[in-house]
């Protein structure tokens, strides 16, 4: 893949946030310029930018651009009120991925901690913070990839769900990161990719990324994983995450729970990979995670010339929550966390790394 250093970046005069429109892949690589609050909201809501880390990076750049171009700069109070209006609007675009609110809260902290400074300097500080969020993600993805590589030593056939590669982050990705790093180191892997209904991120994006990196990849429908596991063709499952609760319950793209249940039945290790920014210790269990429900037409008609179902009711949640007892390990940039997750996840926010 012709890979830019980053898939989310500022234009030359910092008046817009540029992204690869992921809804156009794999057939077209379209670069979108996002200048207005409405364009930024739609970019997140319509999954033009997607993947929990990428959403957080985009949100940080977006609120910086809006502060620079659209916030009232006559007084701090007016500036802060405008900033918060834009922050609340962007934060309402998608409810499940924690990185969105996490990044926006970091940017708000910059505004609050510099309240005695000039508006010009506050805006400069916002720029620095947004770039730092992206730089941190690049470093985290590399560390996650290296930690995940430890699991791959004796596992050649991997299954993954949805998309957690460079497009969803900044560089290597999370769930795909160890696979890409393994290929760079000369390891031979075979990756089965669930198509991932209803938006086909696996079919459209994951196969695209793995194929461009020269990794042997096979696309399957979401309901085929059990048969492959029964045939002994899967050694491990690697998936990303949009929010991890304090007890290890993990929200990820719809279908992840089914894959985890199957892996548990066939005694196949199931790993979740993500940066520590995706861990939400304030959310105690998965029962507290708000699950986004999307337009039912994504199931009935989105991918077809004509609707493939009559106008009956359709249920279209974007995510499900995998119970912590189905997860063998949660791989972060600070190490691999194991059960009991209440202890291991909380430790990664201490100075010492998790083993």
What domains, with CATH codes, occur in the chain? 8-140 (1.20.120.420), 142-347 (3.40.50.10470)
**Any idea of the CA torsion for 87, 39, 54, 167, to the nearest 10 degrees?**
180
Tens-place pLDDT, residues 110-162 = 999 999 999 999 999 999 999 999 999 999 999 999 999 999 988 999 999 99
Which residues are CB-contacts of 158 (< 8 A; sequence separation ≥ 6)?
A: 152, 179, 189, 190, 191, 192, 234, 235, 236, 237, 238
d(CA 281, CA 63): 25
d(CA 251, CA 98): 10
Q: Is there a cis peptide before residue 340, judged by omega within 30 degrees of 0?
A: yes
Tens-place pLDDT, residues 244-290 = 999 999 999 999 999 999 999 999 999 999 999 899 999 999 999 99
pLDDT value, residue 261: 98
The answer to whether the Cα torsion of 13, 17, 20, 21 is positive or negative is negative
Strands of 250-253's sheet, edge to edge?
Answer: 279-280, 243-245, 250-253, 319-322
Residue 6's Cβ-count burial label (10 Å; 0-12, 13-18, 19+) is: buried
* Tokens (6 digits) for 104: 């926006």
45 three-state secondary structure: helix
pLDDT along the chain (355 residues), means of 10: 65 96 93 97 94 93 94 86 96 85 96 95 97 94 96 94 93 94 94 95 96 96 98 98 96 97 98 93 96 92 91 94 98 96 92 47
pLDDT value, residue 351: 52
Which residues are CB-contacts of 230 (< 8 A; sequence separation ≥ 6)?
A: 266
d(CA 355, CA 201): 32
The region, left, alpha or beta by phi > 0 then psi within -120 to 50, assigned to residue 14 is: left
Mean pLDDT of the chain: 93
Nearest to 26 by CA among 222, 144, 193: 193
d(CA 230, CA 233): 8
Nearest to 147 by CA among 350, 279, 335: 335
d(CA 302, CA 218): 24
Task: Find the catalytic residue in 242, 249, 280, 320.
Answer: 242
242 is catalytic: yes
């Amino acid at each position: 893949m012709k890979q830019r250093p980053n898939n989310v970046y500022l234009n030359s005069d910092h008046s817009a946030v540029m992204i690869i429109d992921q809804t156009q892949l794999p057939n077209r690589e379209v670069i979108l310029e996002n200048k207005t609050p409405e364009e930024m909201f739609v970019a997140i809501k319509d999954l033009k930018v997607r993947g929990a880390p990428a959403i957080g990076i985009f949100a940080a750049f977006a609120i910086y651009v809006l502060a620079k171009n659209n916030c009232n700069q006559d007084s701090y109070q007016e500036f802060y009120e405008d900033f918060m209006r834009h922050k609340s609007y962007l934060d309402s675009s998608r409810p499940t991925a924690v990185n969105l609110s996490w990044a926006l809260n970091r940017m708000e902290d910059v505004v609050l901690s510099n309240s005695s400074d000039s508006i010009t300097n506050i805006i400069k500080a916002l720029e620095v913070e947004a770039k730092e969020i992206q730089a941190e993600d690049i470093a985290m993805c590399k560390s996650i990839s290296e930690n995940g590589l430890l699991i791959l030593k004796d596992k050649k056939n991997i299954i993954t769900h949805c998309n957690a590669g460079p497009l969803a982050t900044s560089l290597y990705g999370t769930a795909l990161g160890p696979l890409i790093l393994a290929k760079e180191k000369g390891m031979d892997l075979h990756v089965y990719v669930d198509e991932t209904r209803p938006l086909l991120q696996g079919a459209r994006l994951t196969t695209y990324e793995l194929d461009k990196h020269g990794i042997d990849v096979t696309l399957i429908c979401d309901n085929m994983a059990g048969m492959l596991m029964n045939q002994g063709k899967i050694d491990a499952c690697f998936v990303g995450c949009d929010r991890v609760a304090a007890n290890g319950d993990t929200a990820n793209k719809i279908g992840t729970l089914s894959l985890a249940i199957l892996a548990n039945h066939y005694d196949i290790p199931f790993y979740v990979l993500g940066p520590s920014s995706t861990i939400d210790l304030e959310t105690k269990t998965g029962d507290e995670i708000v699950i986004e429900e999307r337009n039912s037409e994504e199931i009935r008609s989105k991918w077809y010339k004509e609707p493939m179902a009559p106008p009956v009711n359709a249920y279209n949640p974007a995510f499900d929550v995998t119970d912590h007892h189905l997860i063998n390990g949660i791989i972060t940039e600070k190490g691999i966390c194991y059960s009991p997750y209440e202890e291991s996840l909380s430790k990664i926010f201490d100075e010492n790394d998790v083993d």
